[in-house]
Amino acid sequence: MLICPQCKFENPNSNKFCQSCGTSLTHKVCPECSTEDVPVNALRCHNCGTECGTVFWAIIAKETTGKALGVEKDEGDRGVEGDEGDEGDEGDEGAISSSSPLSASSQIALGSYLDSQERYQLLDPLPAQTETAIITDVGVRVLDCQPYQISPIEAILASQQSDLLTPSVEASGIPHLAKLYIALQCQGQPGIPPIHDAWQQENMQVVIIEDRSHWQLLLDLWQEETTSSLKILHWCYEMTQLWALLEPVGCRQSLLDLSNLRLDEDQTLALQRLYVESSNSLPVTESPEDAEAETSAIPEQPLTIQALGRVWQALFRQSQRTQFGSVVQMLGDLELGKIQTIAQLRSRLEEISLELEALGTATLPPIKEKNTAVPIIPQSDEPEDIINKIDDMPTVVLAMQLSSLEDAGRTDVGRQRHHNEDYFGIETKIQKLELPKSRVLQGHGLYILCDGMGGHAGGEIASELGVNTLRQYFQEHWITNQLPTEDSIREAVFLANEAIYKLNQQDARSGVGRMGTTLVMLLIQDTQAAVAHVGDSRLYRLTRKRGLEQVTVDHEVGQREITRGVETSIAYARPDAYQLTQALGPRDENSINPDVGFFEINEDTLLLLVSDGLSDNDLIETHWQTHLEPLLSSGANLERGVTDLIDLANQHNGHDNITGILVRAKVRPNLES
């Protein structure tokens, strides 16, 4: 099936346009010059030459035994068991012969396809094999010529999400290397590249993953003069996290190649790909000739965390950066075997953090761990079992600082209403101080959304009056660089209620003629946030680690009954289940009790304020992975994102006014010294 890039509707393979929204499934728009007739299988725009094709990284490897990959071989999987010298069947055209690990490099030419369906086209030549260099594993960029076609791996992950792989998947012949990516991807660790596709072809396994070859090398930023010692310390800690994650599946080798250590847009450590440990695992040493080349190795068996110390030594030496004293001692103790576990290594990192604080060279609290236990899982476990067995990784608690704060809002009348009773307000103030070696950003944001009720000239008045009353209050009472207190926030809500209530009294409105409004309000001061709400307008929060969360709980009869112990199915079987239990304006302040809560923004976060026209029928819960998750990226346009949400609500709901406010807060460790 073809997945529409605009609305994510599933279309038959023969469709040229999306059945739902009419978007072309054969052509796309160039992001640079806006040319609209670029074929989806083209690498570059024919008008301006911009590379706009869908590019992935393909790993082509000789199949190894399941034991070497930490899994058992499935019956029916075709591959070469045992040593390289084992006999195997002759490969088909384009396959890899078992007599030489990757002899197909002479058969798969630049511009040809890796697969019989002619989907993945080679963009780089495969390396030629020589008498002295035996190649068993290569990585190359490939163009996806059928980018809207869902792959079998994507279908599996979409249907099962974080559940275990089923026996039916086991029988489908997924390469062992692909199973490792699937197992780790289910852990939600952004450092592991997402898998896109995979297949087995004779004794060759092909795995298609996200292309990270253009991401910044860790080594490049490590050697920058403006990179603080604490930032380096933080990267070391991230490596210990990845080490503990990779150990159960036998992929710690992935951390030992400097060219494999990359940074994402937020300077978080990430791997370009996975490397499976061999029986004689090889830690890294530096190669002075070429810092980006894969480094030479010294055999060591078995692999221990001493290898991490040697990676750090290589990074310091190749970057020509001076090691600070406590790190020298730590690396020496690692090499001598005085530090033998990840927990001990993290304890040492904590000590170094404390030392930097004492010297006055850090602006953040010392490193602390929520949990120092490292999961110990037998190497024989299947990756499918590892999904459930790996516990949450120990995390470092660092002071975070705001690196960017962006927002966008939009309201729409919907498809059935004749007037719009929704109203919203956004007020932000950004102060930035940037110096050669430091950058401080202070963000102040007020986001208010009201969904009015009371009919024409009633609901509109109530929602607008509510927003403006709250805005005026915080203009006068928000102390600079300090988040308002709960008492202050509650006072503001009561004043908004009073303003609408007085207007009802003046106009002698009664019964259903009394106007009112719901409220959801978000306040942000740097990395601190507060939320207040009355009624059924909601706040959602999305992070990469935790996924989507509904922060507020609707003030309606059904939810009230649930809090009283009534089962959900019974509570929402009532005819008045969705009737509001409180709103601003119809009654005096004694009849409302706004919910006020506080939380910290300690990772990149997308916040969404919505009226019920956007949240009804579980629309957000159903479509967040396609319409919200991509907006976490700095390159995603929030204005376009909120427009897409409005369009989605009009397609699936449309019975009510629709309003949404998107807020993207990105943070980073406060590491500047």
Q: Assess whether 489 and 381 both reside in one domain.
A: no
Per DSSP, the three-state class of 169 is helix
Give the residue from 623, 403, 426, 349 showing the smallest Cα distance to 526.
Answer: 403
Amino acid at 198: A
- Looking at the chain, the whole-number percentage of residues with pLDDT higher than 90 is 44
Map residue 405 onto helix, strand or coil: strand
Residues 395, 238 contacting (CB under 8 angstroms): no
Could you report how far apart the first and last alpha carbons of the chain are, in Å? 53
| Same-domain check for residues 24 and 79 | no
Across the range 362-373, mean pLDDT stands at 36
Mean of pLDDT values over 347-351: 83
Residue 601 lies in a domain: yes
Residue 635's CATH number: 3.60.40.10
Predicted confidence (pLDDT) per residue in 561-600, tens digit: 998 988 988 988 998 888 999 999 998 888 899 999 999 9
Query: Do 284 and 367 belong together in one domain?
Result: yes
Cis omega (within 30 of 0) for bond into 302: yes
> Is 478 in the same domain as 357?
no
Q: Is 95 part of any domain?
A: yes
Answer yes or no: is 207 within a domain.
yes
Does one domain contain both 108 and 121?
yes
- Please state the rounded mean pLDDT for residues 249-264: 93
Let me know whether 93 and 140 are in one domain. Answer: yes
pLDDT value at 654 more than 50: yes
Q: Is the pLDDT of residue 408 over 70?
A: yes
Measure the CA–CA gap between 340 and 595, rounded to whole angstroms.
Answer: 49
- The mean per-residue pLDDT over the stretch 325-337 comes to 88
**Would you tell me how many other CB atoms lie within 10 Å of the CB of residue 140?**
22
Separation between Cα atoms, residue 195 and residue 179, nearest integer Å: 10
- Quick one: pLDDT band at residue 619, thresholds 50, 70, 90? very high
**Domain range enclosing 74:** 55-211
Q: pLDDT at position 141, please?
A: 94
* Domain tally, the chain: 4
Last residue of a domain, one of 344, 363, 389: 389
What Å distances lie between residue 340 and 235, 290, 299, 337, 627, CA to CA? 19, 31, 19, 6, 45
Q: Are 586 and 516 in contact (CB under 8 A)?
A: yes
Residues 446 and 375 in one domain: no
Q: What is the pLDDT of residue 527?
A: 94
Residues 365 and 229 in one domain: yes
Is residue 237 a contact partner of residue 396, using CB atoms and an 8 Å limit?
Answer: yes
- Give tens-digit pLDDT for 211-228: 999 999 999 999 888 887
* Residue 602 falls inside a structural domain: yes
Q: Is the pLDDT of residue 209 over 70?
A: yes
Least-confidence region, from 156-170, 358-372, 387-401: 358-372
CA–CA distances in Å: residue 628 to residues 159, 389, 537: 19, 29, 18
Among candidate residues 165, 189, 211, the one where a domain is terminated: 211
Q: What is the pLDDT of residues 298-322, one digit of tens each?
A: 344 578 889 999 999 999 999 888 8
Digit-coded pLDDT (tens) for 538-555: 999 999 888 999 999 999
Round to whole Å and give the CA distance between 53 and 30: 9
Is 488 in the same domain as 538? yes
Residue 535 lies in a domain: yes
Same domain? For 99 and 195 the reply is: yes
Nearest to 596 by CA among 452, 465, 468, 492: 492
Same structural domain for residues 358 and 406?
Answer: no
371 lies in the same domain as 465: no
| CA atoms of 659 and 425, how far apart (whole Å) | 11
Instruction: Report, as an integer, the average pLDDT of 111-116.
Output: 87
Q: Of 193, 211, 229, which closes a domain?
A: 211
Sign of CA dihedral 505, 510, 513, 519: positive
- Share above pLDDT 70 across residues of the chain, in percent, rounded to a whole number: 77
- Counting every residue written for the chain, the total comes to 673
Q: Is the alpha carbon torsion for 392, 397, 403, 407 positive or negative?
A: positive
Average pLDDT, rounded, for the chain: 80
